[in-house]
Structure 1
Amino acid sequence: MGRVVYGNQMSLDGYVADREGRFDWAVPGEDVHSAVNDDLRNVGTFVLGRRVWEVLRAWDVMDLADQGDAVRDFAGIWAAADKVVCSRTLAEEDLADAPRTRLSRTFDPDEVRALAAASDRDVAVGGPELASQALASGIVDDVSLHVHPVVVGGGTPAFPTPVLLGLELVEQRAYDGGVVGLRYRPRA
C-alpha cells in the first residue's frame, strides 16, 4: 500500500511564493534537490493543483543536456509518474500534450486515499490548497518541508486553510545555504 505524501519548499515565515508570486528564493541547491528527489522517488501519482502543475509541466519539455544530476533525476521521476490535475478552469484540451496526465474538477480525499491504497507507490499531493484539504481530511501520511532562510513578508501560505493537526517530527537535516529539511508524520 502506498502512502499519501506532501512536500514543499517554503520561507521561514511560512510562504511558498512571495506577494508577486515569485519563488526564485526557493530554487533548491543540488543537495536539497537530491533530497526532494529521494522524497519523491516512490511516487506513482502526483495530484496537483493547476498552478503547481503549470510550473512542473516544464519538466515535460525541458532540455536536460546542460542540467545537473538532480535535475535529470527529477525529470525521470516526473516522467514515470501519472498526474492528476485538479482544476475548475482548465479544459481537457489544455492537457492534450501532457503525458500521463488527466483532469479532475475536484479534489476528492477519498479518491486520493484509494489511489494510494490500491498501489505499492505513493501519491504526492502538490500545492498548498490541496495539501490543506488533504491534511484536514486526515489522509496525509508524511509531510516534508524544506525551509529556506528568507522572510518574504506575505504571499501564498504553505497551509492556507486553517487546520489543527498534531505532527511528530521524525527527521531534521541542515543543507547548504542554511536550508533546513523537516519531515513530520501526523500523530495517531
Structure 2
Amino acid sequence: MGKLSYVTNVSVDGYIEDERGGIDWFPIGDEVFAFHTDLLRSVGTFLYGRRLYEAMAVWETDPALAARSGLMADFASAWQAASKVVYSTTLAAVSTAGTRLERRFDPAAVRELKASAGSDLTIGGADLAAQAFRAGLVDECRLVVLPVLLGGGKPGLPTGIRADLELLDEHRFPNGVVHLRYRVPGSAR
C-alpha cells in the first residue's frame, strides 16, 4: 500500500503563488533542489492538477533543461521515472510518457490506486490536494517553507478543513528554507 503525500513549496504566510500567479520568488538553492530530487525518487506516481502538470512536464519535454547541470539531469530523470495522473477538464492531451489523463477526481479510484501501489504517491496542485484532504486521502503533508512573505496570493493549504497534524520531521537548510513533514491523522490509508 502506498502513502499519499501532499508536497508543496509555500511562503512563510502560506501561499504557493503570489497575487499575480507568479512563482518566481523561490530562493531554492542546490541543497534544496537536491532534497526535492531525493523526494521524487521515492515516488511511484504523481497526481497533478493541470497547471502544475504543465509546469512540470518541461522536465521531459525540454531536454535542454536537464543538460544545464548534473543536479537538473538527476531531477529530470527522477521525475520521468514516475507515472503521472493528470486531472483536468480542459487539457486535450498529455505530452509526457507514462501519463494518464482523468477528467475528474474520483476519491474511490485514488483509494484503489493507493491500495495497489508498490511505492508512495504525491499529490500536487492546491485545488486537487484540497479535494484529497476533504476525502480523507492525504496521509502526509510535506511543506517546503520559503523565507518570504507574499502578503497574498493562492493559499497552499485548503480552507474550511480542520486537521490536527503530527510533526514527523523537520529540516533546516542553510538558505533559510525549512522542510516540515506532518502525518495527517485519520486518513483513509
Give the TM-score of the pair, scaled to structure 1.
Answer: 0.92
Alignment partner of 1:104 is 2:102? yes
CA distance in 2, matches of 1:42, 1:59: 17
Partner of 2:33: 33
2:67 pairs, out of 42, 61, 65, with 65
Contact 1:47 1:124 in 2 (8 A): yes
Task: State the partner residue of 1:21.
Answer: 21
* C-alpha separation in 1, matches of 2:54 and 2:43: 19
Structure 2: runs of 5 or more not aligned: none
2:162 alignment counterpart = 164
Change in Cα spacing, 1:68 to 1:29, as seen in structure 2 (3 Å) is farther
- Percent of aligned pairs sharing the same letter: 44
Q: Secondary structure at the match of 2:17?
A: strand
Alignment: residue pair count: 184
- Post-superposition shift, 1:49? 0.3
Q: Pick closer, same or farther for the CA change 1:160–1:138 going to 2, 3 Å.
A: closer
Q: Distance in 1 between matches of 2:12 and 2:21?
A: 16
Segment of structure 1 superposing worse, 166-175 or 26-35: 26-35
Q: Give distance in 1, aligned partners of 2:112 and 2:98.
A: 19
Q: Structure 1 pair 176/68, CA: closer, same or farther in 2 (3 Å)? A: farther
TM-score, length of structure 2 as denominator length = 0.91
Matching of residue 45 in structure 1 with residue 39 in structure 2: no
Whether 1:183 and 2:181 are equivalent positions in the alignment is: yes
- Computed over aligned residues only, the root mean square deviation of the Cα atoms, in angstroms, reads 1.4
* Alignment-derived partner of residue 78 in structure 2: 77
CA distance in 1, matches of 2:67, 2:101: 30
Distance 2:36 2:161 in 1: 25
Classify the secondary structure of the residue corresponding to 1:177. coil
Contact 2:27 2:146 in 1 (8 A): no
Q: Distance in 2 between matches of 1:75 and 1:43?
A: 13
Residues 1:7 and 1:107: Cα distance change in structure 2 (over 3 Å): same
